[in-house]
Amino acid sequence: MTDSVLERAPVRRAVDALTAAGLAGQVKVLAETARTAADAAQALGVQLGQIASSLVFLGPDHAPVLVVTSGRHRVNPERVISRLGIPSLIRADADSVKRSSGFSVGGVAPVGWLKAPAYTLVDEALAEYDVVWAAAGHPHAVFQTTFLSLMMMTGGVSGRVAD
């Protein structure tokens, strides 16, 4: 299974983006699915908060908005609106996620998008951990990173995303 997951175009796109950002690291292929933060944390044997979940929203003019949140948080859209200074925000449906990011729900990477997000917000809670894990383009593929690396590679701003 490892080779087939690593050969998939979305995973290769995520790996290429990581390499371009100077963060070439090995993508880890999990035997169990990491579709949810809880699944990923269990499969990796880490705390739920160490999972950097890439959630896609739609902002003004349906522009994609990436919110990279700690797995221990539920995003409060009003906090995101306030931090990004945008007038509105709605959760993207699966088709919108795929169309803008090129990834399927459950495997959305924070990098390697088909259409770069108009806005990116990274949950400041991720800074509490030395190591965080993010999806690498497939529900069975993840990569190890840090809060600072997420900020650098996404070009995002940090902020509080949950109550």
Domain boundaries, the chain: 2-159
What residues contact 124, with CB distance under 8 A and at least 6 apart?
Answer: 158, 159, 160, 161
The tens digit of pLDDT for each residue in 89-134 reads: 999 999 999 999 999 999 999 999 999 999 999 999 999 999 999 9
State pLDDT tens for residues 37-60.
999 999 999 999 999 999 999 999
The CATH-assigned architecture of domain 2-159 is Alpha-Beta Complex (3.90)
Whole-number pLDDT of residue 25: 66
Contact call for residues 123 and 151 (beta carbons, < 8 A): no
Residue 26 banded pLDDT, cuts 50, 70, 90:
confident
Q: Do residues 105 and 94 make contact, with C-beta atoms less than 8 angstroms apart?
A: yes
User: Distance (Å, rounded) from C-alpha 61 to C-alpha 41?
Assistant: 35
* Placement of tokens 């306030």 in the chain: 82
